[in-house]
Structure 1
C-alpha cells in the first residue's frame, strides 16, 4: 500500500506505538512520529531556528518548527502511519494542507484502563525493555527484581498527563469527528484484538 496515509490518534497508554508498528509491517509503511522526526532532523534549518536549539534549551519546540520537520518527514516517507501529531487545531490545519490522509483512526480507551496500563509499566534499567506487572511479566527472576517504575508512570503524574492530553487534543478528535473522517476503534482488549478491529475498519 505505497503512498497510503494513516493518522493514528489516541491518549497515552492507548497502544498507538504497538498498533503503528503492526500497521507498518502489514502494509509496508513508514512510522512517522513527532519525537522521532525531531530527533532525526534536529539540525534542520527553519526561519525560527533548528529543533536542536529548542531541545537543548529544554524548551518546547514551537509549532512552526514541528510543522516543517513533520512535512519533510512525510514527504520522504513511502506511505506512512503518523502518530503524535497533530496536537492542536492549528496543526490539523497545517497537516490538511501538507498531505492527504486516507484514514484517521482513533483508539478509544476509558480513563481507568489507561491509568492501569500506564501505572503498571516497568522498565529494565539494564536493557531498556518495557514490561507490565499484569500483562507482561518477565520469566527471569533476576530481571523481575531489577525492574523499576519511571516517574512519569506514577499515578498522580499519569492522571495529570491524561488531563493535559484531553484538554489539548479533544478539539482535534472532535474536528475529525465532525468532518466524518474519524474511525473510532475500541482500544480495549489484547493488541491482536485491537489490530483486527483496525484492519476490519480499514478494509471495509
Structure 2
C-alpha cells in the first residue's frame, strides 16, 4: 500500500519539483488539481446540478471550476491511485475538511519560504515564446542573457510573473490557503521544512519527514 502524502506551500515554494521527486522516490502517483482536471474533464457531474454537466464545459468557457466539482475529481484521482503525493489541493479550509472525509494522510509537509524569496523566484522566470523552454534569471539562466539556448528566440516574462501579479497571487494564497497550513499545524500533523535550502537539501528534509511520519 503506497503512502498518502500532502505537500503544502505558497506559489514558488517548489512544490511541483519536490512532489515529482517524492513520487519517483516512493513510487507514488503525483496528483495535481490541474492534471486531475485535465484527465477527468469529460466526467459526468450532472448529479451535482450545476450550470454545466462536465468540467470541460467550465474550462472551455474560461470559468473557474467550482469547489464541489474539484472535490469530486480529486476524490476520483485519489481512489484510483495506489499511494499519492497531492500537490495544489486543498486550497481552502472547506477542501481540507472534505479531504479528511475521503482519505487518510500519512504525512503533511509544508515548504516554508519567505515572501521576498517567493517574489524573487516567481518574477525571475523567463519563457521562450517559440519553443516553450523555461529559464530563471538566477537559478537557471540561459547561456546568453535573454536568449533561448534551444532556438535562439528572445525570452519573455509572462504576464502572471510580473511583480504586481505575483504579489496578488501571494495575497490570495495567504487569505485562502494559509488557514489550511494552520489547520494541520493545530492538529499536530504538520512537518515544516525550510524551503530556502538547495533543492537537494529540501528533498532530504522532505523525505525524512515522510519516513518519520
TM-score by length of 1: 0.95
Task: Report what 2:20 is aligned to.
Answer: 21
> How far off its partner does 1:55 sit?
1.2
Flag structure 1 segments of 5+ consecutive residues without an equivalent.
none
**Once the two structures are superposed, what CA deviation does each residue of 1:125-153 show, in whole Å capped at 9, x if it has no partner?**
22222110011112267516621110000
Judge which range, 7-16 or 118-127, deviates more. Answer: 118-127
Alignment correspondent of 1:100: 104
2:11 paired residue number: 12
1:143 matches 2:151: no
Whether 2:93 is the aligned partner of 1:89: answer yes
For 1:41 and 1:203, the matched residues in 2 are separated by: 31
Secondary structure at 1:97 match in 2:
helix
Match of 2:170 in 1: 162
What is the Cα deviation at residue 30 of structure 1?
0.8
Alignment length (residue pairs): 203
Q: Tell me, what secondary structure is at the counterpart of 1:143?
A: coil
- 1:7-156 to structure 2, matched below 5 A, reads 7-46=6-45, 47=47, 48=50, 49-139=53-143, 142-143=147-148, 146-156=154-164
Aligned residues: CA RMSD = 1.4
* Greater mean deviation of Cα atoms: 133-142 or 149-158: 133-142
Aligned mates of 2:97, 2:73 — CA distance in 1: 16
Q: Counterpart of 1:191?
A: 199
